[in-house]
Chains A and B, each alone.
Chain A
Amino acid sequence: MGTPVKDVELPDRPELQELLLEKHASYIETFEKNKDDLDYCMTEFLRVSGIYWCLTAMDLIGQLDRMNKTEILDYVMSCFDKDTGGFRPAVNHDPHLLYTLSAVQILILYDSVSLIDKDRIVSFVSKLQQPDGSFVGDRWGEVDTRFSFCALATLSLLGRLDAVDIEKSVQFISSCMNFDGGFGVIPGSESHAGQVYCCVGSLAICKRLDVINADQLGWWLCERQLPSGGLNGRPEKLPDVCYSWWVLASLSIIGRIHWIDKERLTQFIMATQDDETGGFSDRPGDMVDPFHTLFGLAGLSLLGNRQIKGVNLIFCLPQNVIERLELDYELLKE
């Protein structure tokens, strides 16, 4: 027997039809201040990424000045590991590619790249590339297409793509392509919208979107939209606000964002707002967090909401920040 369609029903709450900008700003502001909160404490292992989610969310809604720039930059710099050239997620933790990208995104956002020794970071990232073109996340050898994206995005933001073998990187990503046109974690892994974003983003950075079968992938991606309007990350899974970013950005990179119903997705994202605390959750009625708050806002931005700044499809930073860098990447138009 097959399973019934997994989906949620949107609550009938007119107060959620409006974008609660001030509430979201105050949610993020408080989240970063409440350092004794249990959730804050238990997520220390990803702190630098958490800071990136918060800052980008705030910048997208024009409230970046409510964050403590000096304190944040001091903290991020204290996570730089001079020995390897990578960034730790938090003081005492081990450096990793995931947090190196987040840290570089933060520094770019604050236009403060001059604070760091770029060459050290470039050396950290390039040493993680394997002979088959893949990237490991750190010295323990885990391979994942997420790490390919982290490496290529970091180097692109630093203007140093020349430091790795692009051709091999592309070959590895191609080897992760599946029967449905999507991409997985490693060769052989099932397609997943988050990995699709990482692979499509990587190929855009490498200007090798020719590798993709855009009509097939676009079909699989637009089939992520459920009757509620929300997007899931794989067939027969529940919708989740973060896929408003992973799926939507991937569709935009391959020039097919109009293959989903934008209005219905907007309604779904709006329904995941919490009108008491501010912030967005994965699904209506769940607990909010900064991760879903960023991707809810970024999704709405891609859907054309004028109250939110334009967001860059590949680096998930405000478009004006990326324009400052004059980066070179590819987007499919046909």
Chain B
Amino acid sequence: MHGRLKVRSTAEQEEARRREKEKKVLWYREKNESIFAKRAAGEKDRDTLKLTEEVLLENSDVGTLWSYRREILTELLPTCSQEDSETMCKTELNILERCLRVNPKAYCVWLHRRWVLEHSPAPQWAHEKQLCDLFLNHDERNFHCWDYRRYVIRKAGIPPSDEFKYSFDKIATNFSNHSAWHYRSKLLPLLHPSHSSSNGIDENAMKKEYELAQNAFYTDPSDQSAWFYHKWLLGRGTRGTMIGCVLVRRDPAPFIAVSFNQNVKSTEEEPIIVTLGDALPKPVTDSGRFESLWWSCDLVFPKDEEVTVRIEKGDGVLVEMSLDKGSNSSLWLTPDLDLLFSTYLTAATSEVLDSELVMCRELLQLEPDNKWCLLTTLQLLEAIDYDKHHKEIIDLYDKLVKCDPLRRGYYNDLRSRHLIAVKLRRRLEERRESPDINSFDLSQLNLSRLYFTQHMVFIEDLLLNGNKLNSTHSLEGLKNLKSLQSLSLADNQLITLPKTLGGLTNLKSLSLENNDIKELEDFDTLRSLPELKELNIRGNPVCQLSDCEPFVKKMLPNIKLIH
């Protein structure tokens, strides 16, 4: 019952309507009963067609009645003359059109129309296209009709270039027509394919599309469709898989961890393969997981010997490194740190990025608070050089949160992602120079979520104090910090302890100072941390509970508790 307004009425009107409805119920039931009786008796004649027509004109959503009509037509059509069957199909199309005028979103009506045309002796595809034009003039977003149109176009053999023109006309009439932009995104690669460009579309054709989007921005910069289309033109992100770092350790237990730029699976067709020295290559077992960090303890390193380690996955991802004789651990870092943290505008050349940035900056002069333009400017800056434009990018995020507070959660996450990318890249570069760096400071950044933690697998000391981390999902990434010994989550907004903490088995010191933890049972998670020596829970509501200290001490007898 979509969009039916509730109307107030007098008792008299109410009563009249009630009687009217009662009558209609009786009529409807009687008709249906006789139709289903005929169907059960196997009757397939013109009278039944008439009967179902009456009901369908009142309620065209009843799929079974259309099915019955198809059964009848299947029986009758082969017995008719060419002329007669043409007339029957025409009648059917007329009924369908009448139903569609009342109920243009009925799935079963559009389905039946296709069936009739498929079974027509002389389907008039040109007429069907006109019908689509008509219905799309009436409701330019009716997705049933758009789908039917694509079917008709295919049947009629109309070239994509005509439809590309049609999508342009629809957009020109109304730049907000998302359906028409969508259609364009499907036609563009068909009309202007290119093998050399990264998204498979000819560059000259792309230029024209950038211009079209720009026209839309200048007509109404708040129309989201053109901005979504623009983002797609820039390339919204199919990236190749690459490895960020590989950590190998002999003691206390053999350990190897591989971080990827995105979540990957280790499947039978494309496993992650580890080869140690001269041993046989070993695929990492397919556990169905979809992760950005893969690790294994299921390895045997030769003691006191240099060992080479090879990691492979699918098309060309390959790392070769060595663990020297006498050293306990070794970290391999990708030479291409820039690419590791780069954002998603993969289809655009740097020339295009620059010119689109100029366009956005000009538009921002006119529309300084337009969120679409702010976001696009920011994403272009990130794609061009996220490190160089760091300060401007952060200012833009802050502005976006103010202009579009409904989506602050989205912007805050992207902002966190950007900040961590900048800090982590610098830290990894430092690590490359000095192998004893194992700490990382992400404090006081207003982070709402952790990102890129897979590349922090070697970090032993992490400061996350003074952020806005508040829930389990924002800290999901902690699970990747397999080397972590000391963690500060002080001055955040934690209400509960994330379960992921329980997996940090090397953790020695944990600060939860000044959070909002209320339940003693939360500390249960920490039982699985054998190395934990120091726990700071000062400034949490839980400390007010009289049994707080004895409870925690009983649960974790060997720790120094600061409360």
Contacts and interface: CB of A to CB of B under 8 A. Distances in A.
A225 B228 contact: no
A218 B407 CA distance: 11
Contacts of B182: 178-180, 190-191
A121 interface: no
B67 A1 contact: no
A207 interface: yes
Interface string A169-189: 000000000111100111011
Contacts of A256: 410, 413
B236 A210 contact: no
Interface string A244-283: 0000000000011011110010000000001000000111
Given A274-B6, A283-B3, A236 B185 contact: no
A300 interface: no
B410 A259 contact: yes
Contact residues of B: prevailing secondary structure: helix
B111 interface: yes
B405 interface: yes
B199 to A, nearest CB: 10
A292 B1 contact: yes
B410 A38 contact: no
A45 interface: yes
B406 interface: yes
Interface residues of A, number: 73
Contact residues of A: prevailing secondary structure: loop
Given A36-B25, A188-B186, A189-B146, A210 B263 contact: yes
Nearest to A287: B4
Contacts of A142: 107, 111
Contact of B410 (A184, A219, A288): A219
Interface string B222-244: 11110011011000111000000
Given A2-B176, A94-B67, A235-B176, A225 B406 contact: yes
Contacts of B1: 39, 281-282, 286-289, 291-292
A209 B264 CA distance: 11
Contacts, number: 180
Interface of A: 1-3, 5, 36-39, 41-42, 44-45, 92-94, 96, 140, 142, 144, 178-181, 184-186, 188-192, 207, 209-210, 213, 215-216, 218-220, 222-223, 225, 227, 229, 234-238, 240, 255-256, 258-261, 264, 274, 281-283, 285-289, 291-292, 330, 332-334
24 contacts: A1-B174, A41-B25, A45-B63, A92-B64, A96-B63, A140-B70, A140-B111, A179-B228, A184-B143, A185-B147, A209-B290, A210-B290, A215-B237, A216-B344, A218-B410, A220-B228, A225-B406, A227-B406, A234-B141, A236-B223, A240-B2, A260-B407, A283-B3, A334-B476
Interface of B: 1-6, 21-22, 24-25, 28-29, 32, 36, 39, 59, 61-64, 67, 70, 107, 111, 115, 141, 143, 146-147, 150, 174-176, 178-179, 182-183, 185-186, 216, 219-220, 222-225, 228-229, 231-232, 236-238, 263-265, 288, 290, 292, 344, 405-410, 413, 471, 473, 476-477
